[in-house]
Amino acid sequence: MREKYPLGFYSIAFILLLSVFSIGNLIERHQSLALLLAFISAFTAFFLLVQEKSSVKLLIGIGILSRIVLFFSMPSLSDDIYRFIWDGTLLNNGTHPFDQLPAFYLDKNIPGITQELFNQLNSPDYFTIYPPLNQLVFWLSTLTGSGNWLVSANTIRTLLLLADIGSLWVLIKLLKKFGKSLHLAFLFFLNPLVILEFTGNLHFEGLVIFFLLTGIYFFETSRKFLSGINLGLAIGTKLLPLIFLPYLFLRGIKTKKWLISIIAGLVAVFSLVPMLSDSFISGMQSSLSLYFQKFEFNASIYFLAREIGYWIYGYNKIAQIGPILSLVSIISILTISIIGVVKKWSLPKTFLFILSVYLLFATTVHPWYILPLVVFGILSGYNFPIVWSFMITVTYFGYSQSGYELPTGWVIAEYLVVGFILFLELKRKKVIINPI
């Protein structure tokens, strides 16, 4: 017999869909009040939906539909897509995207490389920073798009939609293995920020999460080779998962799984081979150096250090503070890795705290950076990443038609709330927000 649901359930689902649709298609990112109301509506509907012991198939359907409604327009909250199209267009014309800065190509009569596209780039003075696996997707998107930006964007959206579905499938398998409620998976799949940042804004952390979850699953089922391959693909997609390799190696010494970290490292290295050249190495070094010494966004400890620098020296010391915090971050990551091995933490729990420490010392923390924490938290019983996924939406309220400036109060509020929730969770050693 077909199961019936109250009208209120469908009304809540409709609010989620309408809110996501509005953010992705109707609201400009400088319209802060409209964004605030839409995000509050979306997250309220999300929290109410995951309270329901609804059919898994129905919730999957809502999650998929909430992503499909984003296929009608270009990303509204991020302009990274234009660099994706720029790099892909160069590749389709046989040009290495790391060879020169974007401005060099404007007068080279390269089909698709136009002043209009150049004007959309958010970092035209920097070399691209995207690894070869990303570049492969960019190439495919521009090949299918043939100059139509929306078609190119939707090609990437399709891949990230499939990655989200794959992540849900693997997450459910892991929850079953760990003896947890399968409905916890919808804290990821119905999360508005997950939906908007991956399928909406086309950030590749969605693909990274799929590879990481698959790597964890094969790790837990003692399939070393497959685990290493997937973890290596995660690194090849975004370099950040490199921070997990020390822990994997240290843990593997006792459990005889050290080979996983070696395989992951080799896969990551081999993924770079297709684009390996002097220009790739120099361009990537330049981009990474600029990232740690020039970029600053929604940071925590760095912002405190920056203010102290202003007070003492009278100017921004990011060129010195950034590398120092990077060194402290590396030491902290190694420390957490050792603690995770000694205390026999689970893989998701250790990954959760390694990435949290990294973000704590980072100079740049965009909303999509924190989303791997969501799945690690679901698997290890911590909900502060769920709270953070809501609180970090305040970073979108700093955009205006003339630029970006977020009042410090928003950042302080974000980190105070998230820090307080984490403190309570650590103190009580149990999940304090349990919607299932």
Mean residue pLDDT across the chain: 89
The predicted-structure confidence for 204-220, as pLDDT tens digits, reads as follows 999 999 999 999 999 99
Q: Determine how many CB atoms are found less than 10 A away from the CB of residue 286.
A: 15
DSSP assignment of 252-273 equals HHHHT-HHHHHHHHHHHHHHHG
Q: Rounded to an integer, what is the distance from CA 70 to the centroid of its chain?
A: 18
CB 206 within 8 A of CB 163: yes
Per-residue buried b or exposed e for 108-141, using 16+ beta carbons within 10 Å of the residue's own CB: eeeebbeeebeebbebeebbbbbbbbbbbbbbbb
Query: What does the alpha-carbon distance between residue 384 and residue 373 come to, in Å, rounded to a whole number?
Result: 9
Residue-level pLDDT at 252: 86
- For the residues 74-97, what does the mean pLDDT come to? 94
CB 376 within 8 A of CB 340: no
Who's near 6: CB < 8 A, 6+ residues apart? none
The predicted-structure confidence for 385-401, as pLDDT tens digits, reads as follows 999 999 999 999 989 88
Query: What does the alpha-carbon distance between residue 254 and residue 342 come to, in Å, rounded to a whole number?
Result: 11
Residue-level pLDDT at 276: 67
Query: What does the alpha-carbon distance between residue 8 and residue 13 come to, in Å, rounded to a whole number?
Result: 9
User: C-alpha distances in angstroms, 63 versus 16, 291, 313, 383, 385?
Assistant: 10, 34, 50, 20, 19
Which amino acid is residue 5, in one-letter code? Answer: Y
What pLDDT band is residue 436 in, cutting at 50, 70 and 90?
Answer: very low
Q: Rounded to an integer, what is the distance from CA 127 to the centroid of its chain?
A: 21
pLDDT above 70: percentage of residues in the chain: 90
CB 306 within 8 A of CB 315: no
Residue-level pLDDT at 41: 97
| Ramachandran quadrant class, 74 (left: phi over 0; alpha: psi -120 to 50; beta: rest) | beta
Check whether 154 has a pLDDT greater than 70.
yes
User: C-alpha distances in angstroms, 267 versus 233, 234, 242, 280, 312?
Assistant: 7, 10, 12, 18, 46
Phi first, then psi, for residue 428 (nearest 5°) are: -85, -15
Q: What pTM did the predictor assign?
A: 0.92
Residue-level pLDDT at 431: 43
The predicted-structure confidence for 225-264, as pLDDT tens digits, reads as follows 999 999 999 999 999 999 999 999 999 887 778 899 999 9
